[in-house]
Chain A
């Protein structure tokens, strides 16, 4: 059972990073960014481009971070260049724009990296494995889980213990009052989008050695992230964390115990949670409520 829990944590780490980004953007901008999965896939593709350039282990380990910064800036461009023009025009515009971007990104991936799937497990092979009480664990898997945990801590610190976080939370609570207090809300929106896109890109980069990337990985992760978002409670980072762990571990253990209903389990959890608590585990849309 312990190995399956560890496997579940890998899946949970990635789900958390992606959903945290989605959740932050929703919490502040009140937008469900359907293009979020595309930022995840972009993270995979950019990381791949970096790892193909070098065999240096350190650079391979850093490449998701570098890719995530690039993806973050792409997110800024998206927010400033497109999204900003439709704020306040209603959800339909936001849905169409963010949704349409999925297909724009798909074509970008096709033109830039081709339609064949990509993968590069060099770093997993180079790092090798460790054996704990006869249990063999790839070191990269531990690296991935620890990195995601560090990001979760940094995120918590950033949002709850810094002035920037306070402004973010205030904007999330009431952007008009925050604006009246002299805060540049547009800048908060842009920074939020950077942060959200960064997290998606980072998650994608971390997954390159394990799953690789393909046109369509964007939609797959998006649907899962939406499930986590709903289960955890819209806009709640803590909810995203708990729901990711719940879904990640249940899936891994479920594969061992009930292999036939692997995918159904995830949706079953969603249905049960929503029946018992319709707002999700940590429901309420305000980012500061936790």
Chain B
């Protein structure tokens, strides 16, 4: 018979092995063997660019990460089919994300063994913070494009006066933008709202959203009562205890920064409680409806605020023909709509592509990665099929104008945003190397 002590040893061993097993599952694979040298008689091979995309492919965060991988594949297929970037074909290396220590190891391997030209992606704030210095130390371009961490390019996230890194860029909009949008939406569309609740995941992204939103709403609508935030743990399966608190508080407006499967679960579990407008109640939910439809849902509630993700198809008045092709090919290939991750991937890919083309044009031959980096920070504008971003050299950020508003029906997309408000970058992103709350204090 197994004694309790033996069992506990077993359980301990089992849990330890679980952790190790997970780590091993994500552990770096052996480096690809060096290809045999090409015989001299064959024609000179075309240059190949190595693009590593790192984002969650498994677990609850795959709902955000996997569309990024898929979007990159689609874009690379397009570009390779039309001759590559400046004549160079692109090879994509896909990596799952995992925990910070694993991501650091992956970044080291990608920089040193794989010798990739660029790394893009990362959905987690903690992972981005851990991995960005690795790219910097190894002089490898890292385009942070999924996590919405405003200070990923800074040398010291707590002290903007120490400046920015040289090899790290951020191409998507930030947590500050999202939280400020949520405050603008409340002030613009719900002037009668009295009580506001907030539900954010219990880590840096959630805290940033709470701080910035609360600071912004106190400036824009000082008469509103802001309730204590609810901070469910990341990837909580069961939100009902939090929902009960919301039902008791009966707020007029709920701002949530839950994302991925968390957003979907929260909305699924919240709808039956007859709290939300359109589902038996009077409360508006400001959140990521994008994640909701990404898991194959019809949008059940129209008129609920949606925060803007740069160039998201739901926010645009007009979809360009190339964007329409992207959306439709994505839907056809992967049987789902291209949501936030797939839109983020576009921002990074086009920034990188534009930098290579600019450097190539200036040099007349294929540029080195140093030259690509220089060209990238001096890009000025980043043109994509969904709009134009501005490269801010001071902190290596691409800034985007945003449309944000209320969800409405659309003829061929799952939903659109109408009416909406247009916010130029200066209205929703702080100046370079400035904390969001410091910037809002100057309003």
CA distance A11 to B4 in the complex (A): 26
Residues of B within 8 A of A140 (CB): 272
Indicate if the CB atoms of A259 and B231 lie closer than 8 Å. yes
Partner of A124, one of B58, B248, B268: B268
B35 within 8 A of A: no
CA distance A260 to B230 in the complex (A): 9
CA distance A136 to B279 in the complex (A): 13
Shortest beta-carbon distance from B59 to chain A in Å: 5
Known A32-B14, A285-B1; contact A119-B233, beta-carbon cutoff 8 A: no
A212 within 8 A of B: yes
Shortest beta-carbon distance from A114 to chain B in Å: 9
CA distance A118 to B297 in the complex (A): 11
**Interface readout for B50-81 with A: 1 if CB under 8 Å, 0 if not?**
00000001111011001000000000000000
In the complex formed, the residue of B with least CB distance to A138 is B272
Name the segment of A62-70, A189-197, A217-225 touching the other chain: A217-225
**Interface readout for B262-274 with A: 1 if CB under 8 Å, 0 if not?**
0011001101111
Indicate if the CB atoms of A259 and B230 lie closer than 8 Å. yes
- B residues contacting the other copy or chain, number (CB 8 A): 50
B244 within 8 A of A: yes
Indicate if the CB atoms of B265 and A212 lie closer than 8 Å. yes
B18 within 8 A of A: yes
**Interface readout for A99-120 with B: 1 if CB under 8 Å, 0 if not?**
1001100000010000111110
In the complex formed, the residue of A with least CB distance to B8 is A230
CA distance A110 to B260 in the complex (A): 18
Residues of A within 8 A of B274 (CB): 129, 136
Known A7-B241, A119-B265, A214-B60; contact A99-B6, beta-carbon cutoff 8 A: no
Which residues in B have some Cβ–Cβ distance to A below 8 Å? Answer: 1-2, 4, 6-8, 10-11, 13-15, 17-18, 21-22, 25, 57-60, 62-63, 66, 230-233, 237-238, 240-242, 244-245, 247-248, 260-261, 264-265, 268-269, 271-274, 280, 295, 300, 336
Q: Give 22 pairs: A residue, B residue, CB < 8 Å, sorted on A.
A: A4-B244, A8-B241, A10-B240, A11-B238, A95-B17, A99-B14, A102-B21, A103-B21, A115-B58, A115-B66, A119-B265, A121-B269, A124-B269, A136-B247, A140-B272, A209-B268, A212-B264, A215-B58, A215-B62, A223-B15, A226-B15, A255-B245
